[in-house]
Each structure stands twice: as C-alpha cells, then as structure tokens.
Structure 1
Amino acid sequence: MNNPYPIDWHRLLRGVLVGVLIGEAVTIVLLFLFSCMMAFVDLPLAAADWMSSGALVIGAAAGGFLSAVISKANGLLTGFLCGALFCILLILLSLVFHSFEVTAFFLLKVTLSLIFSAIGGILGVNRKQRKRKY
C-alpha cells in the first residue's frame, strides 16, 4: 500500500533542529528577562520555578511552531519531535550543571513542553500564508 503523503525526512530533520535551536534561544531570552524581573521586583522564591516553567513552555511552543513552518508538513510529528529533543537537551543540561532528580515538577515540565511543542507544530503547519504582491 502506497502512502499518499510521504514524509520528507531531510526537511523534517532540518525543521526540528532549527526549531530546537530557536526554542532554546527563546527560552534563554525569557529566562534572562524573568531573572531581571526577580532582581528588581521583590517576588517570592517559588515564583522562579513557575517563571522558568513558563519560559520552557513558551520556548518549546515557539520551537514546535518554527519547526513545523520549516518542514511544511506533519505538524504534530514535527512539533512532538522538536519537543522530545528539547526535553532530552534539558535532561542532558541538568546532568551537566547539577544533580538530576526526577520529581513531579520535572515531569510536569516535560509533559507540558511536549504538549505545547506539538500544539505549536500544529499551529505552524496550519498558519495562513501571506500572498506576495510582486
């Protein structure tokens, strides 16, 4: 049985890798902004956990969105792969910089980043194209 919608693995892989890099950049910028906010505004220390989770989720969604825009097909798969690579990178960085513990909050972060990255992938494929006027 022939698949009427074959997967272009080269475009998918390129989209996922670029999406992860852009998602990480968005996360780093948001973490910087949130750390500046924590430095200048008297917020409780528990707010740092939720701000870091928010930055992670927004970065994962941005990465999933851009990976799907680049690959132009299979938004759910592209976004999910981007989120999975995003989470693997998060785990590796956690192992490098401090002791790694699997907690309920960590599992919540991973789950939310996978979900929002997949949603970003769906939105990236289904976005409207602008008509160019040349």
Structure 2
Amino acid sequence: MRAPIKTTLLFSMLSLCMSCSNTTALNKGKEKLKARFEVAGICSNYTFSLIEGMADTSLVAASWTNPQSDSTYTNAFGVKNPCDLPEGLKVGDEFYFEIDSNRPNRCMVCMAYYPTPAKKLNIKVLEIVKE
C-alpha cells in the first residue's frame, strides 16, 4: 500500500511545481507597459514606441526608421490587433497596455501598404494617459 501513496505524493508535487512555473510564465506577459502612438498609416498600419517598461528586442525593434518620413523611433512596434484599440486613441497619445498573446485578431482591415516595424504585438490598452 505504501507504493501508491508515494506515487500519488510524487505526482501531486510534480503537478504543483508545473502549475507554479506556468503561473510565472503567464504573469510575465502581463507586465504593465507604457507606449506612445507614433504613426497612423493607412489601413490600420500603426506604429507605436515603448516608452516605459522592459524593452525586449525580441518583441520590439530597438530602432526603426519610417521610410516615408525619415523619422526614427526607439523600441518601435506595430500591432496585430488594430481593431481592439480604443476609438479615442490618436497619434501622440500615451497609454498603458499589456501584451496579450492570447488575444485573437477579430477584425479585417484593407490591404493597402504603409510601412510599419516588423515586430508586431497583440496588446490590450489598459488606460490612456490624460494630461
């Protein structure tokens, strides 16, 4: 009878450890970040720059130059889910957001091209900064 108890205890401990590491991984993606809306290109081709929070160059472009205007942006990124942005958000606005990689893209946009950074994120806007 001792073997099943040991097996059950071992399984329970492993499950607990795995759930702890999964929780840590999920919370890591929910860091509150701050960005500025830089460029509103045609067909929801938007460019943002990260201005507060961890600048992970696997997620944002350390430096990106818009070939249309020759303006350079630091920690730049585009969005995969432009239809989830709040209606009142406009160029120049700063806002807090979190990366939400589970957020589906639920909209269709036209296919006209306007340059954006290659790095794109699914984001959830938490709060637009009021001045």
Q: Say whether the fold is shared (TM-score over 0.5).
A: no
TM (norm. structure 2) is: 0.26
TM (norm. structure 1) is: 0.25
Greater relative contact order, per chain length (Cα 8 Å cut-off, separation 6+): 1
Give the number of the structure whose residues are more often strand, by fraction. Answer: 2
Q: Please say which structure displays the higher CA radius of gyration.
A: 2
